[in-house]
């Protein structure tokens, strides 16, 4: 995988985080809206609509969790210490290279070289490993529970 693809892959963490938050908000919106429709119309099919949308949105949320997990696992390949810290600051925390250089006490040019060397040492997977699917399913169930809990607290 070339460096541009690796950077895009690692940037997927922030993309997945934003998409997960949008999905969570959409999930809460549709759940409320379908309940309103059921109450207004007395339509018994509203429960089926709710189940359909909830299942669809939970599937999308699960994919976001999978993407984030992949990036976190890729970062764990880097050596502990400065290398892993740089990748976490850059791709998980979303800091700019300048901010990373400042926090690590390195000049921008040196940080760019270190960053490139780290990326060249990573072996990023092309697909989601089967052995991690159970973990992601547990995380998706937890996410579903958290969405329901936040909805109850908001009501």
**137 and 111 in a common domain:** no
pLDDT of residue 128: 44
Instruction: Please count the other Cβ atoms lying within 10 Å of the Cβ belonging to residue 21.
Output: 12
**61 and 5 in a common domain:** yes
- Cβ contact 56:9 at 8 Å: no
pLDDT of residue 107: 94
The rounded Cα 137 to chain-centroid distance in angstroms is 14
- Cβ contact 114:128 at 8 Å: no
pLDDT of residue 103: 94
**Tally of domains in the chain:** 2
**59 and 1 in a common domain:** yes
Q: What is the residue-level pLDDT of the chain in tens, covering all 155 positions?
A: 678 888 888 888 888 888 888 888 888 888 788 778 778 888 777 767 777 777 778 888 888 888 888 888 889 989 899 999 999 999 999 999 999 999 999 999 999 999 999 998 888 765 444 445 555 555 555 555 555 555 666 65
**145 and 71 in a common domain:** yes
Give the Cα separation of 106 and 114 in Å (integer).
10
pLDDT of residue 1: 67
**10 and 63 in a common domain:** yes
Picking from 96, 85, 91, 90, the residue whose alpha carbon sits closest to that of residue 67 is 91
pLDDT of residue 155: 59
**116 and 143 in a common domain:** no
**48 and 2 in a common domain:** yes
**53 and 2 in a common domain:** yes
pLDDT of residue 140: 56
**69 and 40 in a common domain:** yes
**68 and 9 in a common domain:** yes
- Domain containing residue 17: 1-77+132-155
- The position carrying tokens 């959409």 is 26
Output the six-digit token pair for 100. 């990373």
């Amino acid at each position: 995988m070339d460096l541009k693809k690796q950077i895009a892959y690692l940037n997927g963490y922030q993309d997945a985080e934003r998409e997960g938050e949008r999905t969570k908000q959409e999930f809460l919106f549709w759940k409320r809206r379908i309940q309103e429709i059921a109450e207004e119309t007395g339509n018994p099919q509203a429960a089926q609509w709710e189940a359909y949308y909830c299942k669809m949105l939970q599937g999308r949320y699960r994919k976001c969790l999978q993407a984030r997990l992949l990036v976190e696992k890729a970062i764990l390949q880097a050596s502990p210490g400065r290398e892993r810290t740089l990748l976490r600051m850059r791709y998980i925390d979303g800091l700019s290279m300048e901010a990373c250089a400042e926090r690590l006490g390195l000049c921008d040019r040196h940080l760019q070289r270190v960053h490139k060397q780290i990326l060249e040492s990573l072996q990023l997977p092309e697909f989601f490993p089967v052995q991690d699917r159970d973990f992601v399913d547990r995380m998706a169930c937890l996410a579903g529970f958290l969405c329901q809990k936040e909805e109850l607290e908001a009501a």
